[in-house]
Amino acid sequence: MEKPSYNTDIVRGFVNWSIIWGLVAVLVGVIVSLQMVNPDLNFPPYLTFGRLRPIHTNAGIYGWGVGFIFATFFYMAQRLCKTPIWSPKLAKFQLWFFNATIIASAVTLLMGFTTSKEYHEMEWPIDLMIIVLWVMFAINIIMTIIKRREEQMYISLWYMMAAIIGIAVLFVVNSAAVPAALFKSYSAYAGTNDANVHWWFGHNAVAMALTAPPLAMFYYFLPKSTGVPIYSHRLSIISFWSLIFMYLWTGAHHLLWTPVPDWVQTLAMAFSVMLIAPSWGSVINGYLSMNGQWHQMRDNYLVKFLILGLTFYGLQTLQGPMQSIRTFSAFIHYTDWVPGHIHMGTMGWVSMIGFACIYYLVPRIYGNEIFSIPLANLHFWLILIGQLIWSISMWVAGVLQAGMWNAMNPDGSLTYTFMETMVEMYPYWWARAIGGLIYLIGVLIFIYNLYMTVQKGKKSSSTLTEAEGRA
């Protein structure tokens, strides 16, 4: 059978640029964490917390996260379908347009143009760019799947298609707006409906951008890294369809104790708790795939990233449903517990899977062995320690905040003022900044290791070369 000729140039491009935007995201994150403990580090009007914070989140989600989604999807789709990418020219234009969109987003956010919707801050001209970008990507991947030479559709392809279609629907619906000026618009929805639609987008964007794609990667790269098949393809399919169905109903758990109708809140709370089952279906599938292979946690640096990443996913999907219960939400919402929860997912689950994927890809798309496995292991331990310091400090801070806010004197007055609560946060905010700095050092070691792999790494054997690397 004729061996397909896969396109690696586009994978290289997206790998390189996702790393650049990932570095920007972590660096800006460290800066804003320091601004929280030292307000003198705010330099108005552009370099303030209010301007930099959305750049941090959007560079992380769309620059780093979506960037390596593009890279891995183009890599996996070709191999799972045993056919080259449908349109290399379209993919090349997409790479250019991706960077133009990220830069336009950063510049407009620095200038203060924002919709003020979390995770969807960019104004309508940038929204149009994002839609064009995603349509290009969707057409290329879907056409590659349609033209596939491999009849069997592996689970990763299902998660890839769900992400592509889900993000398109979510983004278009939530971005509906009436333009009032070049960088000013008003939402097409009003009041409670606007909030409900936005958090339907917000939470399901987590599902379709930060859950489905990493699961597609995990199911592909764990067997490729360990050399053993996934434990149960049937379990993976059951988990997939259950996850996709249940996730779509959970967004309103961000709006508990608001004017959103009680039945909508209850529905979201119930589906959030049920979501534990399909989420842990994938976690259990991953763990059972390691039967007889747990020694690879010691010997194989890729497996460390993949299994610890999956573990953080499992913890996320226990903590999230717990937060969706009304009584617990009443206590913990609006506290620092919430960013601790979010960053366990982004720094732990999503980024650990992303690091593993890139470590797997770079030797194969450049034909060089990894420069230093000890450096890769050091990177692993630094980001693990940094993430744990970051998240745990915020969980403790959140519980302390909630306790102080709810403390009451016998006469019914509040025990603590808001400023007294703020003062108690400073040690935890310093811990957050230190954890972020440790994480940043880990990322810099990651980049150095990859740079040396490309520039000075030893040529890999034929078993590792791009020509061989097919699913």
Give tens-digit pLDDT for 139-184.
999 999 999 999 999 999 999 999 999 999 999 999 999 999 999 9
pLDDT the model gives residue 5:
86
pLDDT the model gives residue 109:
97
> In whole angstroms, what is the distance from residue 140 CA to residue 295 CA?
39
- Percent of the chain beyond pLDDT 90? 95
What number is the average pLDDT over the span 205-224? 96
Residue 72 pLDDT greater than 50, yes or no = yes
Task: Produce one character per residue of 338-354: b if its CB has 16 or more CB atoms within 10 Å, e if not.
Answer: bbbbbbbbbbbbbbbbb
Sign of CA dihedral 158, 159, 164, 168: positive
Are the beta carbons of 140 and 118 closer than 8 angstroms? no
What number is the average pLDDT over the span 430-449? 98
Rounded (10°) angle between helices 66-81 and 155-174: 140
Residue 1 pLDDT greater than 50, yes or no = no
pLDDT the model gives residue 471:
35
Mean pLDDT in the chain?
94
Summarised one tens digit per residue, pLDDT across range 241-285 is: 999 999 989 999 999 999 999 999 999 999 999 999 999 999 999
pLDDT the model gives residue 2:
59
- Percent of the chain beyond pLDDT 70? 97
> Could you tell me the pTM of the whole model?
0.95
pLDDT the model gives residue 3:
66
| DSSP H or E stretch at residue 164 | helix 155-174
Residue 470 pLDDT greater than 60, yes or no = no
pLDDT the model gives residue 461:
64
Least confident of 4-8, 91-95, 121-125: 4-8
pLDDT the model gives residue 463:
43
Summarised one tens digit per residue, pLDDT across range 310-323 is: 999 999 999 999 99
Alpha-carbon distances, residue 166 vs 157, 159, 213, 313, 346 (angstroms): 14, 10, 11, 20, 19
Other beta carbons less than 10 A from residue 274's beta carbon:
16
Residue 4 pLDDT greater than 90, yes or no = no
Residue 468 pLDDT greater than 70, yes or no = no
> In whole angstroms, what is the distance from residue 243 CA to residue 320 CA?
14
